[in-house]
Amino acid sequence: MSIEDEIASWMEDAGYGKVESSTSLGSSDWASFRQVCVSDPPTPDTSFFVKTSSRSAKEMFEGEALGLQAMYECSGDGEFALRIPKVFHWGDASSDRGSYLIMEYLKFGGSSGQKSLGKAMAQMHLASPSATAGNSDGKFGFPVDNTIGGTPQPNPWTSGGSTEDWVAFFRDHRIGHQLDLAGDQNMIEQWKKDIAPRLGGLFDGLEVRPSILHGDLWSGNIGSANGKPSVFDPASYWGHHEAEWGMSWCAGFGADFWDGYRSLIPKDPGFEDRKPLYDAYHQLNHYNLFGGFYKSQAARQLDQVKQILDDKGA
């Protein structure tokens, strides 16, 4: 049985009838995409967005599925809720190489406005950790490791939900992890000697609480569906809400976005000092994915972090 036949079989077993059409929507470096319409959908307007990959479901789709489910739970309802696609199923193909993820197909178009997006992101970040969102203990991390692009992203739960726990998580499982993958000994030495031991100095007086993060928020992962802002293709985990903006250098957030976001979550003191730290994670990830000038960009961000800590006397 091919993976397409297995997906069709799942649709029937779930009570959605037979596949009436399956339309290719292209592919990325890691997956292929299709819109699937069935004879008995859960609602008259529902069709399915199906991703397939040659990798295993645990490696490729489990983290995305759980991330979408967590964001779905934390986005809430009302005027300023994000439109997150509902996840129906994911798994490995039983008799064919590969895996698949089945979710709600959203018809993207138009614009919900930057201010609405900002408010919707803030509402999601303000949601308290919960069992239904995959975080019953209010810690940093995520139920599973996932990927950011094609890079493995480790998400072990911290022992608690304090600022100190967050600093250790980001130190070891974000910057430290990406530096190990990059293998640049000069940056690794600078990080271990001059930055990591003092990293808490960027968070003095700040109470960091776990927020669900999209984790890879750039313009290609943002849209508008049914008049509401939508985000998708996550690399989710529970972290400091400011870490969400580490990809803002290619997200195009304007003044209206920040007006909307800051109307619910004001800017904390030291935001600008922490920004190069959060940017460095994504610059390092881009270097590990694509090579090239991202290495020098990351090095500049880490130099800036060191200088800020020097100026603080941390």
β-partners of residue 50 are 34, 102
Please report where in the chains the tokens 């009302």 appear, as a residue: 78
CA distances from 248 to 46, 220, 283 (A): 32, 12, 11
Sign, CA torsion 44/62/249/128: positive
Active-site residue, selected from the candidate residues 216, 273, 279, 310: 216
CB 84 within 8 A of CB 214: no
Examine the residue annotation and report whether 216 is marked as an active-site residue of this protein. Answer: yes
How many whole angstroms separate alpha carbon 22 and alpha carbon 18?
11
Structure tokens at 175: 């910057």
Supply the residues annotated as catalytic: 216
